[in-house]
Structure 1
């Protein structure tokens, strides 16, 4: 189908670097534009612009600018080019629920302090970079959603990413950090920015007022440092994160960077806390486990294990309290 062929052509432009893209265009233009030609049989100019607009959008969504390829005098009309460049700013169209907007009064004391601190910086257009430290269950995602909704409703562009796809799916408009900021999975020997300054993604970054990166402890420090260098490059300054307000969040008691066949020293050196940027972040803390408010003993038990302070039997095993154990010897016990 023509749409699939246009996507294939865009993929070839990005990843295969053809020496003469205009030659490919001339050879296959008829099949690229077949659906548009069928819809507008007597409007060749419109068919050309619709075909170009779609390919331009596909190329931009992959992190490149259509203008970086040599197509001779073939170009998108200025009005269409502006519209295409706005496609990447999908954060403007993220649905905002009234529940998230009205959640400010539901924040606990620690959450409200973090919310006010970050919100005030964004509204006043002041610089700042934070790390929101909170164990699982302390309401980090709830805080993120409330913050994103109340900033976006005022027309501010806020980018939400996470180190894993599961965490990203919990954030409105969330993407993985590798997808959004074009961070390669293997950065060794390739530390240059993958984002063109003329791309719509670069425009999005320059226009955004806040970036939230959830589950940051899961990312290697090299990825975060690459992100920081990319921000400086895209924003054309030497300020930390290009002068943007960035909020990292997570819990170092949970999953840390996974480095196959690494030594303990290598694993530690790849942790975010070993980066020179770590000391430059303002630390915000959440300690109240909102999921276990009715069972504080369980919350404290989990924290003790994460802190390494809970007694280990034989140096390996942890004895679970009977209150949290369900016997598996009787079938009815599992059903209950």
Structure 2
């Protein structure tokens, strides 16, 4: 919030919040958005996926909000935002940009936004000097590169971007899921965290951990359920339990 109110004091107003599932990332981001808006300032909330965008107050996908063009994985272009357009004026008045699930975004999409903001605002600082808060968890999905492998994913994630070095890194460490609920849910949450933290040897899963399936069709049914009937209902998409909509 100090950066929001004193943007000119920092050469780089980029902040990355590293947060594993259950550490309150969505709560923190929404509290930040609501606080900025309560002061009469403009806060833009975006995410790398449509599902993640529904969790943020006033959230939209980054591609939709900033008119980021569809690019090949190694292509770099600016956003389709014209100077003196309504969107350009909105970006000029914006005090903070919050981008969730940044880990799955190709670093070139951030470059596109960086180029565009510098051009529109006439400011050569990172993101045109705007406060830019991004968040994610490197245990989860990295950028999907068509026909690429692990090296390609690493090469095009945010950690490989020129901007990563100068972004301030913060971390949420207290996992709420480990403090409440029954023992089965706590064990499940702990194992999920270990998936990205194990340094030596394979990760052992207890019998009965998660939902076991025997066929590909059963896997699709367990994960997606009645998706064909409910894909237009965001509550169905954003909750763990399948909800039947009339």
Query: Which range, TM-score by smaller chain?
Result: 0.7 to 0.9
Paired residues in the alignment total 205
What's 2:66 paired with? Answer: 181
When residues 242 and 325 of structure 1 are mapped into structure 2, their CA distance, relative to the original with a 3 A threshold, is closer
Does the CA-based 8 Å contact 1:130-1:281 persist in structure 2?
yes
In 2: Cα distance, 1:325 partner to 1:191 partner = 42
Does the CA-based 8 Å contact 2:76-2:108 persist in structure 1?
no
- Partner of 1:209, secondary structure, is strand
Does the CA-based 8 Å contact 2:7-2:129 persist in structure 1?
no
In 1: Cα distance, 2:166 partner to 2:71 partner = 26
- Tell me how far 1:264 sits from its aligned partner: 2.6
What's 1:293 paired with? Answer: 179
Match of residue 306, structure 1, among 179, 196, 201: 196
In 2: Cα distance, 1:189 partner to 1:283 partner = 27
- Tell me how far 1:325 sits from its aligned partner: 5.7
- Partner of 2:178, secondary structure, is coil
User: Aligned runs of 1:188-227 on 2, under 5 Å?
Assistant: 191-227=77-113
In 1: Cα distance, 2:34 partner to 2:211 partner = 40
- Tell me how far 1:321 sits from its aligned partner: 2.4
1:202-235 CA distance string (max 9 Å, x none): 0111101000000000100111111111111111
What's 1:74 paired with? Answer: none
| Deviates further, 248-257 or 262-271 | 262-271
- Tell me how far 1:256 sits from its aligned partner: 0.8
What's 2:160 paired with? Answer: 274
In 1: Cα distance, 2:165 partner to 2:175 partner = 26
- Partner of 1:288, secondary structure, is coil
Return the structure number with greater relative CO, CA threshold 8 A, min gap 6.
Answer: 2
What's 2:242 paired with? Answer: none
Matched, 1:123 2:9: no
What's 1:56 paired with? Answer: none
Based on CA coordinates, which of the two structures has the bigger radius of gyration?
A: 1
- Partner of 2:132, secondary structure, is strand
What's 1:249 paired with? Answer: 135
What's 1:138 paired with? Answer: 23
Unaligned runs of 5+ in 1: 1-118, 313-317, 329-336
1:270-319 CA distance string (max 9 Å, x none): 1110111001100010011112323665443222211243642xxxxx53
TM superposition score normalised by structure 2:
0.76
What's 2:49 paired with? Answer: 164
In 1: Cα distance, 2:95 partner to 2:86 partner = 16
When residues 290 and 199 of structure 1 are mapped into structure 2, their CA distance, relative to the original with a 3 A threshold, is same
User: Aligned runs of 1:21-32 on 2, under 5 Å?
Assistant: none
When residues 208 and 179 of structure 1 are mapped into structure 2, their CA distance, relative to the original with a 3 A threshold, is same
What's 2:239 paired with? Answer: none
In 1: Cα distance, 2:94 partner to 2:83 partner = 15
User: Aligned runs of 1:36-47 on 2, under 5 Å?
Assistant: none
Unaligned runs of 5+ in 2: 214-246
In 1: Cα distance, 2:65 partner to 2:79 partner = 13
Kindly report the root-mean-square deviation, in angstroms, between the aligned alpha carbons of the 2 structures. Answer: 2.1
In 2: Cα distance, 1:201 partner to 1:282 partner = 27
Relative to its length, the structure with more strand (as a share) is 2
Relative to its length, the structure with more helix (as a share) is 1
When residues 169 and 310 of structure 1 are mapped into structure 2, their CA distance, relative to the original with a 3 A threshold, is farther
